[in-house]
Every structure is written in structure tokens, then in C-alpha cells.
Chain A
Amino acid sequence: MSARVLKPEEYYIEEEPFYQPIGDEIEIFEAAYTQKLPLLLKGPTGCGKTRFMEYMAWRLNKPLITVSCHDDLTASDLVGRFLVSGGETVWVDGPLARAVRAGGICYLDEIVEARKDTMVVIHPLADDRRVLPMEKVGELLEANEDFCLAISYNPGYQSVLKDLKQSTRQRFIALEFDYPDIELEISIVAKESAVDHDIAVRLVKFANMTRNLKGSGLEEGASTRLLVHAGKLITSGVTPVTACKSAISQALTDDADMLTAVNELSSSLF
């Protein structure tokens, strides 16, 4: 199959993504969506925030426009800018403007990474005005009925400098995500990576060992995503110890002693 080329606002998720609800997050999202309220997803990396967004986009049958924020992301990167084409300047919508026009779900991943001024452009969209001011063209873009704004943010590892401002956070319905409890996580790992139950149990045990080390040497424990990666390697015939080493330990830390310790933990388990 050749790669498909799509406009961002045409990106519909066609197959149901696997998502295992932890609580009542689906109901809350749907309620917020019908009430036209923006959402804030909180939680550590790799616990399923992005997957949840994909699932909701599929469920609501709306296009999903994801923007991964970085520290150089400016307001124009979201709203749009003039480009030069054939001797004329042409306005090109940014992803946020596209979503607002087309009535899609715009998901701004890791919002605190973006610059402070970027945050301000989403403010009028995130309250009852639901408009996007486009200063450069001198227009106000009123949001489509179906438009929905969601942002995510990881409260765990941000420094004080990169905290979400109150004026921003108090506009959103917040959903908290965490690693699923043990039973659920085992079933997720088993389902996603097609390893047998026993291996999934051990992988989850290993993840909890690394989570015990959070704060005493590791910045963050192994996420569910990493477990799925390791599981997939195991399914393809890699030995569990090697799979844990490449998919999990190396991803968690560069510190040589810590790596050895984490590898010793995984080799104790298998």
C-alpha cells in the first residue's frame, strides 16, 4: 500500500483504536464535547493520552488534528501565516485554524512546552466565545459547531518555569490519566503486543519495579507504551531480557549504574 496524502482536517480515524477505559473518562469527554467545553488531559508520558484522543475522534467520527508542541512553537505555527507564491502573498491556515474551520478535534500535545505567547491564542477559543482571532488577516474565525479543543500536559516532570498558568488551566475540563491498575495493564499489554498472559504479568511487574525507582534515580518509571514495545519485540522472537533492555531500560536512563540496576531487575524476573 502506498502512503496516503491527506489534508489535516481530512484525517478521520477509520478503524477503532484499542482503548481500555480506566474510569468514566469517555462519558466525561462526550459530555464536554456536546457542551462545547475544552479538555485538559493530565498524566505521565505513555499512559494513553494520545490513544484516548484517537479513540474519541473515532467514536465521535471527527477528524483529529494533533500538534506536538515544542519550545519554538509560535502562535503563527498554530494560526497560520502569509507565504509567498508567484509574486503574491498567500495566507495559509495553520493546523488550529483548519480545525476551527472544519470542525475537527484539535489536540495540542504537551502544551506547556510551547511558548507562553502561544498559550494566549487559545484562550478565546477555550471559553464561551469560541473564536480564533487571526490578527494578521484582521479576521475573527468563529468556531464550527463540531470543533473541539483538547490539550495535554504532564504535571510530573515539568520545572517550575514551565507550569501551566492558572488563566489557561481554569478554562478546561480536566481529565486525569495515570498508569492503569495492574490487572488492566496486564490485559492492555497482552492485547496490544500479543504476548501471552504470563509474559504480560512479568512485564507489568517490571514496570512497577521501575516506577518504585521514580525519584530515586529515575525521572519516570516505565510507561505502558514501553511495555507494549517490549512485548512486541518478544512476540517477534527477541528474548525477554534483551527486549526489556532495548525497549525499556535504555529508554528510561543513560546513567550506567542505573542501567545495570534496571537490567538486573528485569533479568531477575525472566
Chain B
Amino acid sequence: MLPVNRDQIVETLDRILEVEFSFRDTHPAAEQISCIDLETQDYVLNWIERIASTNIELAFQFANRVPEMLISTDQSTIEAWALHSMDIFDRKGLHKALQVMHESDQFMQRSHERAVGAVLEDQLPVLLPFVQGLSGRKLKIEEGELTYTDSETLFLPAVLTQLPDAKDNFRLYKVMIAFLWAQNRFGSFRIDLCSVLDAHEHAEPFLHLFQAFETERLNACLQRELPGLYRDGQSLHHLIDNLDRHNDWNNYAAPLTSESADVTTSLELTYTHFGKVTPHTPYCYQGILDPYAVATSMQARIEKEKAQLRIAIRQMIDDTEQHKNKLNESSEDEESVDDLNQDDLNQTAQTTDNQQKQLAAEEVPDNNQPDGIRIELSLDDQPIAPPENIKGLLTSIVQDLGEIPDEYLVPAGDGEYDPKLFLDQHKDPDNVWSGTYHEEGAFLYKEWDYRRQHYRKNWCAVREMSVKPVYDSFVDDTLNKYKGLIKHLRKTFEALRDEDRMLKRQAQGDGIDIDAWVEAMADAKDGSEMSDRLFTRMHRTERNIAVVFMVDMSGSTKGWINEAERESLVLLCESLETLGDRYAIYGFSGMTRKRCELYVIKEFTESYNEEVKARISGIQPKDYTRMGFAIRHLSKVLNEVEAKTRILITISDGKPDDYDNYRGEYGVEDTRRALMEARQDGIHSYCITIDKEAREYLAHMYGAAAYTVIDEVNQLPLKVSNIYRRLTT
């Protein structure tokens, strides 16, 4: 029944907001809510309940504000506001979330801006490939307060609303990005601006003037390189900027339009004219120059890239060397090589050993490159084509330094560099937990909150962990124990593998179907119509299946369930190896959303080797059963595999269950949601469980025909392979 009068609304609100314990006064809100029409009342109360599932205070504030907002705002904006505040609550806590609730006006204002403006986050899928396509070092894009670059990352405002039209605002992003790219590409950072500024008494106005000149130079570069973009920039400039420039300015800046002008020309002009010329109003897209940020990131990069390049060169030389040695060996094997040749070969081999390889880089003038040069590498005077990684490094180094210094081309010696210096550091997932938790380096996945009827963004921190391999006799024992069964499984699976059939009576094919032909001839003699289906064709069905097994490693599997799971995996691997299907095995376990763990037992790319066997043997019961994250992550893994059919099979012993409310309906609904997402990606899910009560919830989660309940734990190993066979034929 719908609440119709004030008292009934008070009653409902009291229940939702748990007034019994929290002593909130719901009367003013109820008073207001009772004044709106029935349908909207229902809507409002529904949302209050949804928010209350996240936080009661938040819902209380919502109830107090929403009637007023309904007058001026449409429902979709109110929903966005409510969801946004819940997101903030998830991420930053109650205080910040209440702030969002209170500043509803600001939210409305911003959502209006977002409607007309361009939002960086939304445009990133276009802007990022755009800037990476422009050549040079691969730049990143991030949100920032100001528009500038540190020579590795472009920082841009989150929303642009300068222009009334979203399309024009996008154009502004594009030109800003291209302009920041141009600073990197055309060498704005090739002088040590920091020391120039430090030495100058009026650093700030000096930088200001320098940037004005440099901007003119880059404009000229862009006009030559990307005329279409330059036109965009000019039209935006006319639209946005106040054009109060003196004619004189153009005269001062004239030398910068020549092709030979570089950053030193800008600097010289700045010295000459400083204090005498007022620069024009900045262009709307030029952003600011932050030489200190550039210096910091550049210094780190130059060191790192020098190390990377030298190590890569060493690797390249080692590779060629090995290749040569191989060639030598193989020619030695051949009898036709006469002695003379043999000597020659040995000699060359010796000389290469004694002498250091001479690597040289030559800068070849090339007008098509922005720096006017192209780097060609040669090894002992033989030109070589550098591999991709070296090419990228060379480009980046030339961008910073304008050349390849000779000492960069000396191959790195043994242990000369500390790996920390040049490798992007990967954190060991096992170490992450030893400190306090943090989400750095983890995969973040959303989670469905059924009461909120919405996702909690970036809710689960998922890490792939390794299983400590245990080298014992477990696998052999299992193989022994199920000797007969394995033989049987191999046979049945082998039968599956070969599915070639000879199709008869085909209109086209490799051979002639004699039976059909004789019939057709008889028909022809008889005067009846002759069939044209006279051929045989070999029909080959290729199995193209990728499957992931998701194995429950929760604490409840301790004991014989764990053992049965491990035995099943051994039998499965044996069967699948016969079949040739691609498969991966992961174990899952969770302890709150901050600690969702997937244990890699076998990846797709790994073969079924001794280590995998030892890992199966090493599967240990861990914590709780959180399932949504595991399904989401493994769907991602599956989607990266090229296969016609993708299957996700869960082997579990019970309902989803974890701390922080992941139990009962919440866990079931999230798991169901994750499975639905997987289905949308074209993944078939199946569940094998030993929980006898599973029928109640599994049909809801996996669908009526997508699960099997096994009554006896010891039947699990026998059944799993058979279920798999049934599933995939």
C-alpha cells in the first residue's frame, strides 16, 4: 500500500532510517514528502531506502533535501546526484559524501556544465590515441589543475566549458594536447630553463615573455606540420581570446616563424626584448610552462633511458653474436665446408671475440623528421635495423638531447646497472599485504549492491597471487588411485578430439560419391531428373575452446573437499591434455573487499608441467568465498584469449560468503550480476558444487541448466571430467 498521509510517511521513514536507535526527527521531511503526488512519493521513498542501505545519515539528509529539489530538477539528475554521493561515501567516507549532499546546487551546476562542456574522462578514448599517433615519445594524459606537461604526462583540466558547445570544447582539448605535444616534439625543453630562471632577478615576467615567444615559434611549427590543427587553434583563438595585440608584437616575433628557429632563438629574443615588450594575451590553448616539473621528470628519464638503451644494445649484440655462432656451428657440421673456409670462420670468430663491437649512430638529415635528422645505427660499419624497443628509446633520447651521445652506444657491462634503475618496478603481491593495505598495483573491480540497485565503483582490490608449489607424490598417487578411470577418460576424450566426418552427397567436394553417382546415372537413363549432389567432402570441426577453472579455496574446503578438488584437477588436466583444449586454472579466496585474491595455478600460456603439478598439490584452503571479483577478473582473462567458445567453470563448496556484508542475498546478487556480465561478453558459465542446499540459489545465479550438484564429495574427481566432456560436445 502506498503511504498517503503524513503519519504513514513518518512511519515508513522511521523504519528505513532506524529512528528507534538513531533518534532522528523525520517529521519535517515527512511533512514535505506528503505534499508531493503519490507516484513521486513512492519514487522518493524507494531512493531513500536505497541510500539508507549505504548509510543512514546520508539517506536522512537526502530525505530532507529532495522535496525541494524535485521542484526544479528532473529525476535523472537527482538519481545521478544520489549515486554520486554514495560513490563519494564509498571512496572518501561520510564527511565528504554529506558535503556532496549539502552542495546540491553545485552538483546541479556541474552537471549542467558537463552537459555542454567536454569531460576529459569521457574524451580520453579518443584523445589518448590521438596524441600517441602524433609520433615521438608515448605521452600520457592525466587530470590536473593546470594545463601543462612535465615532458612525459600531459596535464589537462577535468572539464572544459569555455565554449557553449560540447564539440568546440572537445576541439579545445585537442588543440591543447597537440600544443603540449609540440612543446615536447619541437624541443621546448632542450635548454636548461631552470638555471636561466634561477639566475634572473625577474624570473616570473621573464618566463612569461619567453613562453609568449616560444608559443609563437610552436604555432609556426604546427602550421607547417599540422595545418588542419593549426586552423582549429586559430579559430578557437578568435572565438575565446581577447585580441588586443599590438602590431609590433608580430614584428618582434617574426624571426620565430622561420624553419630554422629553435628554442634558443626564443630565448635570445627574450633576452633582447625583456623589459621593452609586453607580450600579447596568452592563447587559450597554450597552458603554462613548468620548467621545474620538466627538469625533474627529464633527469629521471635521461638516466633511465641511458641505462635501458645500453642494456638493450648489449642484448642486441649478444643476439647477433649467438646467431652468428649458430651459423658457424651449422656450417661446421656440413661436410662441404673445406678446410680453408673453416680457418676463415675460426679467425673471424676469434677477432670478434677479441675486439669490442663498434656500434655507431649516424644522424642522417631528413626533412620529414621534426628534428631534421634520422638516426641510423651501424655495427662494425654494417647498417642494422634496430628492434622496436631500441627505436623507441632512440626517438625519446633524441627528443631530449637532440642527438645520441657516443657514450650511450657502449653496451652495458655485466652488473653495471642496478635493475632498479631501469626496470619499471613491479610490486610483489605477497609483500603488499605485509604493510597496511593499499590498493596500489591491484586490479580494481566494481561490485553490485542489490539494495542500492547500482554498482559500487572500484570496490574490490584484486591481486593475482602465486601458489607455493609443493613437490610431493600427490599427483602420482592420484594417477595411481584412478588408474582405471584415467584410461577410460583418455579414451573418451580422444574420441572427442577427432571429429572429422566424410559428408556424402554434397554439391561440391574433393571426391566423387560413387553411390550417388550410380543413382544419378540410373535416374538419367530412366529419364528422371539427375541429382547434382555427387561429391564427398571432408568435414572438419576444429575444437576451439578456451576454459578457465575457478576453484574455491575458501577455508570451508579444508580437509577432504580440498583433496577432492585437487584430485579432480589432476584428472581434468590429464583429460584436457589429451583433448588439446586450452585451459587455465585459478583458485579464489577473499577476506573483505580489500583483499580479494586469485591464485594462479595454471595460466593459459603455461604447459602442464612439473611446476603446475606441484602447484595443484600445493592448493591450500584460505579464507572466505567472495565470488563476484573472481568471475569479473577471470572473464577479463578469458576475453584476452582468442577462441570461438569461452567457458568459465566454477568448482565450489557453498554460497558466496565474506566479511563486510558479502553474505546472503548481497553475495548471491553480486555473483549473479557478475555472471550476467560474463554472459554478455559471450562467456558460458557453469558451476559444479558439493553443497547440497545449492539448488536453492544456484539456479538463480547460474541459470537452471548451468550447474551440477554432486552429493558425495568423493564423486567429485569422477564427475568433473565427465561434466566437462558433456558441456563441450
Interface residues of A (CB under 8 A from B): 74-76, 81-82, 84, 87, 89, 115, 136, 159, 161, 182-183, 201, 204-205, 208-210, 212-213, 216-218, 241, 257-258, 260-262, 264-270
Contact = CB atoms under 8 A, between A and B. Distances in A.
A219 B229 CA distance: 26
Contacts of B540: 115
B196 to A, nearest CB: 32
Contacts of B524: 87
B275 interface: no
Contacts of B130: 261, 264-265
A258 B129 contact: yes
B178 interface: yes
Contact of B228 (A84, A183, A268): A268
Given A76-B510, A87-B521, A262-B129, A209 B134 contact: yes
Given A213-B129, A262-B129, A74 B134 contact: no
Contact of A212 (B135, B366, B517): B135
A159 B542 CA distance: 15
A43 to B, nearest CB: 14
Contacts of A74: 510, 538
Contacts of A260: 126
A265 B133 contact: yes
20 contacts: A74-B510, A81-B509, A81-B511, A82-B512, A84-B512, A87-B524, A89-B512, A136-B511, A161-B642, A183-B368, A209-B134, A209-B135, A257-B126, A260-B126, A262-B129, A262-B133, A265-B133, A267-B228, A269-B226, A269-B228
Interface in B207-249: 226-229, 232
Contacts of A81: 509-511
Nearest to A160: B642
Nearest to B534: A84
B320 to A, nearest CB: 16
Contacts of A89: 512, 517
Contacts of A257: 125-126, 129
Interface in B100-154: 125-130, 132-135, 138
A209 B133 contact: yes
B174 interface: yes
A212 B132 contact: yes
A84 B642 contact: no
Q: Is the interface of A mostly helix, strand, loop or mixed?
A: helix
Task: Determine which residue in B126, B127, B227 has the highest number of CB atoms from chain A within 10 A of its CB, and name it.
Answer: B126
Nearest to B229: A268
B133 A82 contact: no
A216 B520 CA distance: 58
Interface string B481-525: 000000000000000000000000000011110000100110010
B521 to A, nearest CB: 6
Contacts of B642: 159, 161
A264 B520 CA distance: 63
A212 B130 CA distance: 10
B129 A216 contact: yes
Contacts of A208: 135
A265 B127 CA distance: 10
User: 6 closest A-B pairs (Cβ-Cβ)?
Assistant: A268-B229, A257-B125, A261-B129, A76-B510, A209-B133, A268-B226
Contact of B129 (A75, A201, A217): A217
B678 to A, nearest CB: 22
Nearest to B521: A87
B584 to A, nearest CB: 15
Overall SS of chain B's interface: helix
Residue of A258, A261, A269 most packed against chain B (CB within 10 A): A261
A249 to B, nearest CB: 11
For A75, A241, A266, A270, the residue with the greatest tally of chain B CB atoms inside 10 Å of its CB is A270
B132 A269 contact: no
A182 B368 contact: yes
Interface in B526-545: 534, 538, 540
A161 B580 CA distance: 12
A49 B622 CA distance: 57
Nearest to A218: B129
Nearest to B178: A268
A182 B133 contact: no
A205 B510 contact: no
Given A257-B129, A261-B127, 5 more contacts: A159-B642, A182-B366, A258-B129, A268-B226, A270-B227
Given A82-B512, A268-B178, A212 B133 contact: yes
A217 B228 CA distance: 23
Contacts of A82: 511-512
A177 B561 CA distance: 57
A270 B227 CA distance: 6
Interface string B169-184: 0000010001000000
A257 B133 CA distance: 13
A239 B273 CA distance: 43
A2 B138 CA distance: 53
Nearest to A257: B125
Count chain B CB atoms within 10 A of each CB in A74, A208, A241, A257 and give the residue with the most: A257
Nearest to B540: A115
B689 to A, nearest CB: 33
A217 B83 CA distance: 32
Contacts of B178: 268
Nearest to B124: A257
B386 to A, nearest CB: 13
B286 to A, nearest CB: 17
Contacts of A75: 510
A218 B133 CA distance: 10
Contacts of B126: 257, 260-261, 264
Contacts of A209: 133-135
A213 B132 contact: yes
Contacts of B229: 267-269
B227 to A, nearest CB: 7
Nearest to B366: A182
Interface string B623-647: 0000000000000000000100000
A16 to B, nearest CB: 29
Contacts of B132: 212-213, 216
A212 B134 CA distance: 8
- Chain A CB within 10 A, most for which of B127, B178, B226: B226
Contacts of A216: 129, 132, 138
A265 B134 contact: yes
A75 B510 CA distance: 9
Contacts of A268: 174, 178, 226, 228-229, 232
A216 B129 CA distance: 7
Interface in B328-384: 366, 368
B29 to A, nearest CB: 44
A182 B370 CA distance: 13
Given A74-B538, A241-B228, A269-B227, A261 B133 contact: yes
Contacts of A136: 511
Nearest to A115: B540
Contacts of B135: 208-209, 212
Contacts of A213: 129, 132-133
B518 to A, nearest CB: 11
A201 B178 CA distance: 20
A182 B374 CA distance: 11
Interface centre among B227, B232, B368 (most CB of A within 10 A): B368
A173 B100 CA distance: 69
B228 A210 contact: no
A266 B129 CA distance: 13
B233 to A, nearest CB: 10
B301 to A, nearest CB: 19
Contacts of B128: 261
Nearest to B136: A212
Nearest to A258: B129
Contacts of A183: 368
A262 B134 CA distance: 10
Contacts of B129: 213, 216-218, 257-258, 261-262
B202 to A, nearest CB: 37
